[in-house]
Amino acid sequence: MKVEITDVFLRDGLQDEAVLVTTAHKLEIAEALIAAGLKRIEAASFVNPKRVPQMADAAEVIAALPVAPGVTYTSLALNGRGIERAVDAGATDIAVVTSASQAHSNANAGQAIEDALASLASAVARFPGTRFVAGISTAFTCPFEGTVDPEYLLRVVRAFKDMGINDVGLADTLGTTPTEQVLASMEHIRQAEPDLTYYLHLHNAHGQALATASAAVDTGIIRFDAALGGYGGCPFAPGAHGNIATEELVRHLHDAGHDTGIDETRLAEAVRLARDVVTNSPAIGLLDPAR
Determine whether 234 is an active site residue: yes
Distance from C-alpha of 88 to C-alpha of 181, rounded to nearest angstrom: 39
Of 234, 253, 274, 277, the active-site residue reads 234
Residues marked active site are found at 234
